[in-house]
Structure 1
Amino acid sequence: MGSPSETEDGAGGHIRRQEVVAEIGQLALETDDLDRLLRDAADAVAETLHAEYSGVFELRSADDALRLWGGAGWEADHVGTATTPTRSELQAGYTLRTGDPVLVEDCRRDERFATTELLDERGVESGITAIIGSVDEPWGVLGVYSTTAGHFTDPDVSFVHNVSNVLSTTVENRRTRRRLEAEKLLKSQIIETSPVGIVIVGADGTIEFANERAEEIYGRSRDELELFSHDDSRWDLVDTQGDPLPAEELPFNRVVESGEPIFDAELGLRKPDGRRVWVSVNGSPLGTDDDDDDGGRAVFTFTDITDRLRLEGEFEEILTRITDAFYALDEEFRFTHVNARAEELLQHSEEELVGENLWDVFPSAAEIDEVWDAFHTARDEQKPTSYELYYDTLDFWVEANLYPSESGISVYFRDISDRIKRERKLEETIEELEQSNEQLESFASMLAHEIRNPVTIGQIYSQQLSTDENPEAVEYVEEAFDRIEEMVDIMLLLTRGDGATGEREPVSLADVARDAWADVETCAAALSVDVDGEVAADETYVRHLFRNLFENAITHGGDDVTVRVERLSDGFSVADDGVGVPESDRERVFEEGYTTTGDGRGTGLGLAFVREVADVYGWDCRLTESDAGGAQVELRDVEFLGK
């Protein structure tokens, strides 16, 4: 193909180029098919300029290359696959970066740009490129190429530039349309998936639009809602007190008349099934771009607060019923709630306190460091605090617990004056008892000394009595002295506790149990010992413990009772096969003075002594029923030596 003739590049050529631009522009208006437009434009440019090749190259940001979209003269397998780099030393890359159309008259001699493999392989000698889109948002490049050097003229450059402008406008319009469609879809999705109800009310007061959540709140379909006006009587609108909402208070009227938004307006409406729904309403005038439109439309959002109000009511009722006094403060220490008990103790009604500052109402409290610090620590450090003190202003002892939250402080307090009085009385009683115990202990020690001296003398003389003349009398005297000795030991232990025991040494429970059994009148009773191990104790008191348990078993179980001493997992037990003890009496038997014998033999101190020994050594003592149905005394929490 040779160079264009003078005629072709004259007036006729100029007119033809204008016609082609107009045809491409018309096609751009008529079709939404961008592929067809780009393809036809590339073909028209090649045909008009008598060029062998033309192409539309799309910019691919992912690999920074221009892909051959379509055009004239290319092999079919290259369209959609062939690419060329976008480096600025190449003609197309330079065009992208400058935005200006570029003419290369002789590719071999033009030192501005390097050639590309795609054009070299086809013997291209000259070409024109123009950007499609803008430098900031390029879509690609329009190019036309000839195998003849100097084939193109300056009018050809203007022609290609004009065609690229038409394509740029089309591409930009398409981008804008897609962006608007995406925004519209996004807005629609936001509106439809919004957790709040959204409605648009027209200038005539009818509902023009309602989203899905609005349908749920109102209990009516979108089609039904669009038949309603904002003030339809079927809404049965009421205020928070349950009174009918006057016309001037209707949300739509407030927005339209004031021209200002409204926020958090709470009202009740009636659903078709008769249920009352409470909603919080926000609304705003809806602007318009139409100069002839006077406006009057408004958009509203509705939040269902039925459950919230119900819970708030229940919470209010709970606070009212709390037996402790309760009040709540905001972050500035202003009262926000006061229950009935708090009104009583603070000597102010809720109406008097709500909205007032704590330190203004009770200035003397601010002067008490403990109180001031408790409130400020709770608020500033967000951690619970408490205090207990006598508040002279209100004349009572107060115990207060403060719990912080993001919105302020909850204070639970009570009058503990009676408790303080009881505690002080108890302290006085304990002090008196301690004094009495000291006196009793002193008396017991003196009495033990006074008794043991004559007993010791009596025991010495009793050993001189002849067992031949009256053996029973001698035995009775010896037993009486032993009994007195035992009673002295019991008395000292009961009055002095741990102070009565001697040094603790290893004691074999089995050996001591058998020794104690030998001290008891056993008659036909039998003993079984199955307990191993040693404990750290005073052997005398452990033997007395076993002896008291054995005597108790024989006394209540009979002369032929069988007594078993056995090891437990954490202690040991003494059990018999006698009649046992009723469950209702199992604690009473350990009380001092408790006895069931009517012959005067019982002192009522035996089992009391057993529990006292257990307490001294930190053992748990309890009475249960044995496997044989008799009584079983268990001693647990026993620490065995060598474990």
Structure 2
Amino acid sequence: MSDPHFQTADDFRSLLADAPAVLTVTDADLAVQFASPAVERILGYDADSIVGSDWLDFVHPEDRERVRAALAAPGSRSDTGTEYRFRDAEGEWVWIESFTGDGPERELDYRVFSSRDVSERPRFEAQFNQFVTHTSDVLTVFDRQGTVQYISPSVERVLGYDQSAMQDADLFEYVHPDDLPEAIEQFGRMIEDSSHHAIIEHRYRTADGEWIWTESRGKQITTGPLAGQILVTTRDISERKHHEQELERQNQRLERFSDAISHDLRNPLDVLDGSLELARETGAEEHFERAERSIDRMYTLIDDLLVLAKQGVDPEDVEPIDVGDVARRAWSMVETRDADLAVDAETPVTADSGALLELLENLFRNAVEHGGSDVTVTVGTEPWGFYVEDDGAGFTDGTDEVFDPGYSTATDGTGFGLCIVEQIVDSHDWDVIATASERGGARFEFVCRND
């Protein structure tokens, strides 16, 4: 017995019009032979008006080949559906999902599929794509061999690489050689143990060839279509590492500062204490003079230690500096006796002017104290930075200890001049090399990596 609710064709059309999906029949080339009345409610078209049209003409150009492969194949069936963009009657692109049914037992020249509006779902996917594009993290999916299966668009902003160029890449090739063993070891652990959550800090080579510090967090995916693959998020932590390194340098300064106070101030205090005791007992003038010399030395030590403790560079104060001008100013502030200054500086150096002035003053004092009253000091620039050299006695004990706190070969030296120089070098992220000059004196080369 037939269902009493479907006694007429109008009843059936009404059912199709209210259905949540559009039923479409096409020929083998996807030319529309029939579209159910729901097409008007869902996509805005009159059902009869699109008969004879090519279904692919309504599909977004970027999606057409994928839709053709999914819908036009003979006897095709799709349990998961095919999502694509479809132009509605108002000319807007809406997202629909089409399901093909079971293919007929014999090959026929028509295709049957149902389509529903899933615009809300791709809207979420668009938001997700926007997130992975603009987030500060790079999202990467690796297979078990370490090959990139997916990398988020943010890789271009964070590391400078084009997203498509990184597909199928081996990202281990971009990891710093010193950090590679740990990266490989952690990746292996994620493969062997699905519960292992790896967190490592390592350096990545950017598209510009620079090394930046990154933090990667990874874990094996255990469910869904990506099960067994490795998901890793990577972010740039260069600024954090810089602050950590600066904090470490400050801690080292404090340690050297405390060592200097405990050791180098104790000596003159012991001398002062002994001299005063002898002065009380004998009243001899020489003991008072010795005590005064100890007090003067303590003042000098305190001044140097305060400079050592305060050294640091504010990035906002760094600018291109004329080394020659600063050298002449520093020379005028130092007791140079009969010494001479020669300047051969043409290239500016990016530095903090106050710190550079302090550095040159200490080098000039050091040259006069150790090179003699008639020493000639030369300041010059090179493509890699600048140098300060003299024609004095040079490093009679070698260069291994010259930057150590308290080290001095002069009887009245505090031993902190070159230590201050090294600290200023560190605060600029430069390198300093102590070597012999062509004239046998001391030469200090400052390699300015930020120039």
Q: Is the TM value for this pair above 0.5?
A: no
Give the TM-score taking structure 2 as reference length: 0.41
RCO higher in 1 or 2 (8 Å CA, sep ≥ 6)?
2
